[in-house]
Amino acid sequence: MRQRTLRIVGLASVLILAAGSAMAADLWLHVRVEEKDGATVKVNLPVTMLEKAVGMIPEEHFHDGRIEIDDWHTSTADLRELWSELKNSPDMTFVTVQEDDELVRVWKESGYLKVNVREGGDEGSSGENVDVSLPLAVVDALLSGDDSELNITAAIEALVEEGEGELVTVSGDDEKVRVWVDRVAEAD
């Protein structure tokens, strides 16, 4: 489960570092990671500052605000078609997988794509829990890239348009991770 947590935080970090927007002068992106051993990482960044971070991403992976996907097992065009069907469907649960001590659920609700992963098989489990809540407009923008590219800049701009909200939370015995956007400069 720790690898899954790292992948989710990594994806959130790519989105965070990829781009910014002048419209977001009063929005702050926060990431907080608390480890069981007492280590804590807190990141509080004004969204407008993120634009400066684009230069830190190697050009072979990121150019003109877009990330190119080289080694996908499916084409980006197929992913866009699948997304179009999902986006245009009614609010509903698309995937539920329950196996032994793990429950995974993916659904669409009130303009958000949501994902929950529960170790222990139910909402009250004592294992690691992952919650992702992504505005549909952000996914739309992300998939607006050309050919095999994801448009990170457009995704960040759409996130800014959405405003404040919780994006990712991970809680478990060894760590807690939270990624959110709000108007508070320094979050505790």
Q: Assess contact for 117 and 130: CB atoms under 8 A.
A: yes
List the beta strands (DSSP E) in 110-186: 112-119, 129-135, 149-150, 165-171, 175-182
100: pLDDT confidence band, cut at 50, 70 and 90? confident
Predicted model pTM = 0.71
How far, CA to CA in Å, does 45 sit from each of 13, 22, 70, 101, 177? 12, 14, 30, 37, 16
Q: In 10 A of CB 65, how many CB atoms?
A: 18
Tens-digit pLDDT profile for residues 131-176: 999 999 999 998 997 777 778 788 888 888 998 999 999 998 888 9
Tens-digit pLDDT profile for residues 10-20: 555 555 544 33
Model pLDDT, residue 23: 41
Model pLDDT, residue 93: 95
Q: In 10 A of CB 69, how many CB atoms?
A: 16
Q: Assess contact for 143 and 151: CB atoms under 8 A.
A: yes
| Least confident stretch, 5-14, 67-76, 173-182 | 5-14
| Per-range mean pLDDT, top range of 34-43, 129-138, 172-181 | 129-138
45: pLDDT confidence band, cut at 50, 70 and 90? confident
- What are residue 149's DSSP bridge partners? 68
Residue 3 has pLDDT above 90, yes or no: no
> Residue ranges per domain, the chain?
2-182
